[in-house]
């Protein structure tokens, strides 16, 4: 990914994400979920109407995912799904699983991998809700789930979430430090699941071109190099928002670097990156309003 492309999302600094998150905290704690969801429609309409760059990028993506030109309703539905997952995060962080209908598929394969060796990597995207995955791990399966994310975003998210549930901040391991890989390895050795998102990189990060939604797009290599160094099985993860109070969680075996020889590492990394792009394509078409990248992912001029 070129420097302007990476800067596109970095310069926005998750502006809409953090703004909506702070507002949703207030709504959730003071009005409750039912009342908050009424307000969400107005918030989604506001961002749809007054964020023209994000709206253009959303329509470009949705056109590929839907296989037809995307209209205002399609964009609004995507923004509303985004706001809904942020709103629901407040309740999931406080272990209010009773509010949700959560269906899980692929857990048997994940548990089988954990029986063979401790720890596994969960590689996802800005697709649906990662918080619902962590919530299920904590509340139902007895699994610890840590999240690797860039340090600046981790600091902002931690500062906001700590006011809701201080324990949530302990589940985040910042990327970009000298000890990041060691911290991830230690958690894996303790049998934790370690999650990271692989659809964005930082400026200057090496990338690999993959086929995604019918066109070539640049994906960061960093997550796959990290997976290869940690020598663990990798599962694609997606916590799709299905409307109302419904979430559908999917785990799929994606790659296994446990026994990959050094000589074959580069080829295995590139194969894993394309396999990831293929599964992301599948879920973007299955639930097109669940991919929350509101910038020009393909960087068409």
The pLDDT of 38-62, averaged and rounded, is 90
Q: Residue 158: is its pLDDT beyond 90?
A: no
State which residues form the domain around 14.
Answer: 3-290
Tokens representing residue 196 in the block: 């990271």
The reply to whether 298 falls in a domain is no
The reply to whether 81 falls in a domain is yes
Nearest to 203 by CA among 299, 300, 301: 299
User: What pLDDT score was predicted for residue 138?
Assistant: 62
Higher pLDDT, 139 or 271: 271
With cut-offs at 50, 70 and 90, classify the pLDDT of residue 179: confident
The reply to whether 301 falls in a domain is no
Please give the mean pLDDT across all residues of the chain.
84
With cut-offs at 50, 70 and 90, classify the pLDDT of residue 169: low
Distance CA 40, CA 20 (A): 9
Q: Residue 13: is its pLDDT beyond 50?
A: no
Per DSSP, 146 falls in state E
- Spell out where the chain has E strands: 101-105, 120-124, 145-150, 172-175, 193-197, 207-212, 215-220, 233-241, 246-256
Distance CA 215, CA 207 (A): 15
User: What pLDDT score was predicted for residue 213?
Assistant: 96
User: What pLDDT score was predicted for residue 4?
Assistant: 39
Name the percent of the chain lying above pLDDT 70: 82
The pLDDT of 41-62, averaged and rounded, is 91
Task: Give the highest mean pLDDT range of 66-75, 98-107, 128-137.
Answer: 66-75
Distance CA 128, CA 52 (A): 22
The reply to whether 299 falls in a domain is no
The reply to whether 22 falls in a domain is yes
The reply to whether 296 falls in a domain is no
Q: Residue 210: is its pLDDT beyond 50?
A: yes
The reply to whether 295 falls in a domain is no
Q: Residue 116: is its pLDDT beyond 80?
A: yes
User: What pLDDT score was predicted for residue 156?
Assistant: 65
The reply to whether 66 falls in a domain is yes
Of 151-160, 194-203, 226-235, minimum mean pLDDT range: 151-160
- Model pLDDT for residues 216-271, shown as the tens digit of each residue: 999 999 899 999 999 999 999 999 999 999 999 999 999 999 988 888 899 999 99
**Number of domains comprising the chain:** 1
User: What pLDDT score was predicted for residue 301?
Assistant: 42
């Amino acid at each position: 990914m070129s420097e302007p492309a990476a800067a596109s999302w970095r310069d926005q600094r998750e502006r809409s994400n953090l703004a909506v998150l702070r507002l949703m905290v207030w709504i959730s704690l003071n009005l409750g979920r039912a009342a908050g969801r009424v307000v969400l429609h107005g918030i989604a309409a506001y961002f749809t109407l007054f964020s023209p760059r994000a709206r253009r990028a959303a329509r470009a993506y949705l056109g590929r995912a839907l296989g037809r030109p995307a209209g205002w309703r399609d964009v609004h539905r995507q923004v509303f799904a985004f706001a809904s997952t942020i709103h629901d995060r407040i309740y999931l962080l406080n272990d209010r699983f009773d509010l949700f209908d959560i269906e899980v598929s692929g857990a048997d394969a994940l548990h089988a991998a954990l029986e063979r060796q401790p720890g596994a990597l969960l590689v996802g995207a800005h697709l649906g809700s990662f918080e619902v995955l962590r919530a299920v791990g904590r509340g139902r399966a007895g699994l610890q789930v840590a999240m690797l994310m860039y340090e600046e975003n981790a600091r902002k998210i931690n500062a906001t979430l700590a006011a809701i549930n201080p324990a949530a901040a302990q589940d985040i391991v910042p990327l970009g430090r000298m000890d990041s890989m060691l911290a991830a390895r230690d958690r894996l050795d303790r049998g934790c699941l370690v999650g990271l998102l692989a659809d964005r990189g930082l400026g200057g990060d090496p990338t690999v071109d993959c086929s995604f939604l019918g066109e070539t797009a640049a994906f960061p290599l960093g997550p796959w190099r990290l997976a290869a160094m940690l020598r663990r099985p990798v599962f694609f993860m997606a916590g799709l928002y299905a409307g109302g109070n419904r979430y559908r969680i999917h785990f799929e075996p994606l790659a296994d670097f446990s026994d990959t020889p050094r000589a074959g590492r580069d080829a295995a990394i590139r194969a894993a990156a394309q396999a990831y792009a293929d599964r992301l394509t599948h879920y973007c078409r299955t639930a097109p309003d669940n991919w929350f990248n509101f910038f020009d992912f393909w960087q068409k001029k």
